[in-house]
Amino acid sequence: VVGEAENISELDITHTVMVEVRLFDADGEPVGDQVYTAVLDRPVIEPGWLSSFWVPIYEEQLGDASVDEVSDYEISLWITDEKSTEVEVLVDDLDSWEEDGSFVIAGTAYNQTELEFSALRVYSTLYDEDGEVLNATTDWVELDEPFGPEDEVPVQGYFLENFEDADSWYVFVTGYGAEPLDGGLAGGGEVFEVVSDSGFVTEYGDISVVGEAINVSDQTVDTMVVVEVRLFDEDGNEIGDGDFSAYLDRPVVEPGQTSSFWVPIYADDLGDYAVEDVAEYEVSFWVTDELSPDVDLTVEDFDGGVDDGIFYVWGTAINSTDFDIVALTVYSTLYDEDGNVLNATVDWIDLDEPLQPGDEVEFEGYFPERFEDADSFYVFVSGYPAEVLGR
């Protein structure tokens, strides 16, 4: 079973996507007692992009049934929590020809990344004159030596059958078995850097560490990013044995984009130390494999001001996604006159009914303290879908 799938969402899909096939006989009854699976070929699928797939089903997998009994099939897709292990590389100088009863597509793969690969995969798709998928296949290219940055290597793909009516074709190549040259994405330190941060004692006697981080990599990060804070006394001794951490606020952080963060640290978690013993802190990041459950919404007409000793922010959020949104999270950041982060906060809003695609809703957030020296502010809103990407 071969075909193509399109990403109809507004999100970059960087996780492995399973393709499930169910078989049926002429009476609509299932053939075989299992679901037949493969994964979409393309490792990263941006909005509007297509990916080929090929699900081979072997006769011995059908149990007591035979291939002749198969009359129809159904395809479904679901996104896993696993990051793709392949990286797409460039391919050029493509050509094709028939040779000894086979259809061959050949070209040159170029490694435009900063990674080294131990093997390549060549994904080829044939189309008929109407643009419908006729066949798809995958060829594995073992390499004698690592395929490093700016290296080139010839690649080929082969079709042994079902190519006679082909009118056009498409090829892309991925690298496998990558070894990062300067640290991997999961390290966090090579991906995010602090732009501005501030630590202060709250009116309740606890500690807040707030700030912004920038994505300094060339990759879009759509998984949850842990912000870890370590506390020290004036002698450099680490304080507390608790886990002082939170997540970056923005669910998807593109290269060069910033995200606010807020790490609340409670006095009860400091062990034998008191809040007054804290003299310094360090902030670090690490990128998880867990897909963010939120999606960015569009914010319009936001404003802010002081009322009864509280700084409020308010505005309108528009559901610019394809999902029904059941809750909102309002992330607000205050800056001083030099553009440094002064305070950051998070407000959770449960909705009485799901926010449909294209609908809008008013929101509000607030700062009960540390807003007096604010010169500017920024707000973004994320939504929690009723069902995220079929999960």
Per cent of the chain over pLDDT 70 is 93
pLDDT over threshold 70, residue 189:
no
Specify the pLDDT at position 61: 79
Domain extent at residue 156 = 86-180
Q: Tell whether the model's pLDDT for residue 14 goes beyond 50.
A: yes
Instruction: Give yes or no: residues 14 and 29 share one domain.
Output: yes
260 inside domain? yes
Q: Report the CATH number that the domain containing residue 355 is assigned in CATH.
A: 2.60.40.3230
pLDDT digits (tens, 9 = 90+) for 356-375: 999 999 999 999 999 999 99
Same domain, 78 and 105: no
Specify the range with the lowest mean pLDDT, choosing from 34-38, 300-304, 315-319, 375-379: 34-38
306 part of a folded domain? yes
Lowest-pLDDT range of 108-112, 270-274, 276-280, 331-335: 270-274
Domain boundary among 152, 180, 208: 180
pLDDT at 181: 38
State residue 177's pLDDT score: 67
Q: Select the highest-mean-pLDDT range: 21-35, 56-70, 90-104, 184-198.
A: 90-104
Res 388: pLDDT:
42
Q: Which own/partner pairs from 308-314 qualify as long-range (CB within 8 Å, at least 24 positions apart)?
A: 309/368, 310/366, 310/367, 310/368, 311/366, 311/367, 311/371, 311/374, 312/364, 312/365, 312/366, 312/367, 313/364, 313/365, 313/366, 313/367, 313/377, 313/379, 314/362, 314/363, 314/364, 314/365
Q: Over the chain, what is the mean pLDDT? A: 88
pLDDT at residue 195, rounded to an integer: 95
User: For 235-257, how does the pLDDT look when each residue is reduced to its tens digit (9 = 90+)?
Assistant: 988 897 656 888 999 999 999 99
231/61: higher pLDDT: 231
Q: What pLDDT digit, counting tens, does each position of 268-310 carry? A: 888 889 999 999 999 999 887 677 778 899 999 899 999 999 9
Q: Which residue has the higher pLDDT, 53 or 144?
A: 53
Question: Do 173 and 189 fall into the same domain?
Answer: no
Which of 180, 202, 222 finishes a domain?
180
Domain boundary among 160, 180, 200: 180
Tell me, what's the pLDDT at 187?
Answer: 45
18 pLDDT more than 50: yes
Kindly report which listed range (19-28, 180-189, 302-311) carries the lowest average pLDDT score.
180-189
Q: Are residues 378 and 367 in the same domain?
A: yes
> Which pLDDT does position 391 carry in this prediction?
29
Are residues 311 and 369 located together in one domain of the fold?
A: yes
390 in any annotated domain:
no
Both 170 and 236 in one domain: the answer is no
Written as one string, the DSSP assignment of 186-229 is: GGSTTTEEEEEEEEEE-TTS-EEEEEEEEE-SSS-B-EEEEEEE
Which pLDDT does position 107 carry in this prediction? Answer: 95
Q: What is the pLDDT of residue 180?
A: 44
Measured in degrees and rounded to the nearest 5, phi and psi for residue 351 equal -100, 140
pLDDT of 178: 56
**Among 152-156, 321-325, 356-360, whose mean pLDDT is lowest?**
321-325
Q: What is the pLDDT of residues 275-285, one digit of tens each?
A: 999 999 999 99
Res. 387 pLDDT band, cuts 50 70 90: low
SS3 76: strand
Band of residue 3 on the pLDDT scale cut at 50, 70, 90: very high
Structural domains counted in the chain: 4
Confidence category of residue 390, pLDDT binned at 50, 70, 90: very low
The reply to whether 391 falls in a domain is no
Output the CA–CA distances (angstroms, integers) from residue 94 to 109, 113, 138, 142, 159, in the order listed: 10, 20, 16, 20, 15
pLDDT of residue 188 exceeding 70, the answer is: no
Q: SS3 helix, strand, coil % of the chain, rounded to 5?
A: 5, 60, 35
